[in-house]
A and B are shown apart, each in its own frame.
Chain A
Amino acid sequence: MLTKRIIACLDIDSGRVVKGIKFLNLRDAGDPAELAAAHSEAGADEIVLLDILATHENRSTLLETVRRTARQLFIPFTVGGGIRSQEDAGAIFDAGADKVSINSSALADPGLITRIASRFGSQAVIVAIDAKRVNGGFQAFTGGGRISSGRDAITWAKDAEQSGAGEILVTSMDRDGTREGFDCELTRAITESVRIPVIASGGAGGAKDFIELFRQGAADAALAASIFHFDLTSDHRSSGGALADLKQQLLAAGIPVRWPC
Chain B
Amino acid sequence: MLARSADGPSAAEYEGAFVMIAIVDYGAGNLTSVKKAIDHVGAESRITSSPEAIVCATKIILPGVGHFSSTKKLGESGMRAAVSEAMERGVPFLGICLGLQWMLQSSQEAPEVRGLGIWPARCERFPAEVKAPHVGWNQLRIRNGSSRILNGVGDGAFVYFTHSFRVPLLNSTTAECEYGGSFSAVLEKDNLFGVQFHPEKSGAAGLKLLRNFCTL
Contacts and interface: CB of A to CB of B under 8 A. Distances in A.
B36 A1 contact: no
A196 B201 contact: no
Interface residues of B, number: 31
- B40, B135, B137: residue with the most chain A Cβ atoms closer than 10 Å: B137
A74 B200 contact: yes
B155 to A, nearest CB: 14
Contacts of B32: 70, 93-96
Interface in A1-43: 1-5, 40
A122 B132 CA distance: 12
Contacts of A221: 136
Contacts of A121: 28-29, 65-66
Contact of A124 (B29, B136, B200, B207): B29
A249 to B, nearest CB: 18
Nearest to B65: A121
B153 to A, nearest CB: 13
A120 B135 contact: no
A123 B135 contact: yes
Tell me the interface secondary structure of chain A in the complex.
loop
Nearest to B199: A74
Contacts of B160: 75-76
A115 interface: no
Contact of B33 (A1, A3, A96, A122): A96
Contacts of B132: 195
A71 B36 contact: yes
Contacts of B200: 74
28 contacts: A2-B179, A3-B158, A70-B33, A72-B40, A74-B37, A74-B200, A74-B201, A75-B201, A75-B203, A76-B201, A77-B33, A94-B32, A95-B32, A96-B32, A98-B30, A98-B201, A120-B30, A123-B65, A123-B66, A124-B30, A166-B133, A195-B131, A195-B132, A197-B133, A197-B135, A220-B135, A221-B136, A261-B203
